[in-house]
Amino acid sequence: MFSEWFADSELFVAGGWVLVAILCISSVMWMLILERYLFFFRTRPRLVRQIFEQWQDVRTTEAEVNERIRTGLTNQFRGRLSSWVRTIQVLTAILPLLGLLGTVIGMIKTFEVMTAFGSGNVRGMAEGISQALITTMAGLMTALAGMYFASDLDGRIHRETEHLSQVLNTDTGADPDAQEEQQT
């Protein structure tokens, strides 16, 4: 049924292969965004506890060594949080460019019709203009949503990394989850 909807949909026919490419890339982008949010809400608390336990096991009485260990643990945490975010940002940047490609292809079709039939074939010209508008809209709409969530993920990464750094700097041996609850 789903494949029949795509095959019979005038929107996908009008958008051409560029709209299918936008659909595929935006689907991958949304899967990665969903994965990152699931990671933040399910896996991140466990990761914070693991890093805190590592900190408890390896810290010393020397301030310089502790600072290096803290920096390494914080960078490890940031790296785990940041995975796939750059890919999301790249996909977000590609989507409007694909929309622009669809615009160019649609306008080329329009001019080909005008060259062959003159300006009398309105139906033929409308097909190219339709492709131009549909692909532009699809590329921009999906990119706007991707930009919002990529920016939100970047902000979360920054806040969580700063929070972990503060927890490790002001370590009194308390559980990081308890300190997190006190802040909220």
Question: Has residue 72 been placed in a domain?
Answer: yes
Q: Which domain holds residue 35?
A: 2-171
Question: Is 140 a residue whose pLDDT tops 70?
Answer: yes
Question: Has residue 79 been placed in a domain?
Answer: yes
* Geometric angle at alpha carbon 136, from 154 and 18, rounded to 5°: 95
User: Is 0.85 topped by the overall pTM?
Assistant: no
Q: Which phi and psi (to 5°) does residue 56 adopt?
A: -60, -35
- Give residue 166's identity as a one-letter amino acid code: Q
Question: Is 159 a residue whose pLDDT tops 50?
Answer: yes
Give the Cα separation of 127 and 36 in Å (integer).
Answer: 39
Question: Has residue 88 been placed in a domain?
Answer: yes
Domains in the chain: how many in total? 1
- On average, the pLDDT of the chain sits at 85
Give the Cα separation of 8 and 57 in Å (integer).
Answer: 62
DSSP 184: -
Please tell me the total number of residues recorded for the chain in this structure: 184
Question: Has residue 184 been placed in a domain?
Answer: no
Helix (H, G, I), strand (E, B) or coil at 154: helix
Question: Has residue 160 been placed in a domain?
Answer: yes
Question: Has residue 182 been placed in a domain?
Answer: no
Question: Has residue 181 been placed in a domain?
Answer: no
Question: Has residue 180 been placed in a domain?
Answer: no
Residue 184 has a pLDDT of 47
Give the Cα separation of 83 and 106 in Å (integer).
Answer: 36
Q: What mean pLDDT is predicted for residues 108-115?
A: 86
